[in-house]
Amino acid sequence: MEKFNTIDENNIAEIEEKRSRFIGSIFHVDNIDDAEEIIKNTRKKYYDARHNCYAYIIRQDGIVKRASDDGEPSRNGRFSNIKCIRKK
């Protein structure tokens, strides 16, 4: 079986830059339904956000990778999110 890294604990971080607020969240999930529920709840919590980007990789019936840049300028959100979670 291939080894992989996973998330030990859920966390949220926030920074402000040039009068913009960036909130990053990381959660451990066991399946796609859990991931989609967290995304739905995050959209509700930050309903006024211009963009809610997300990415996840789940081992469920193979490997499922999903990402959305939610309208961010080209290659800013989706690809950097997937790249980030694939790193050690």
- 1 belongs to a structural domain: no
Please write the tens of the pLDDT for every residue from 53-81: 888 888 777 777 777 776 666 655 444 66
Report the mean per-residue pLDDT for the chain: 78
- 19 belongs to a structural domain: yes
- 6 belongs to a structural domain: no
Number of domains in the chain: 1
- 2 belongs to a structural domain: no
Q: What is the pLDDT of residue 22?
A: 83
- 34 belongs to a structural domain: yes
15/63 Cα distance (integer angstroms): 32
6: exposed, middle or buried (Cβ count in 10 Å: 0-12, 13-18, 19+): exposed
Q: Pick the closest to residue 68 from 42, 45, 88 (CA basis).
A: 42
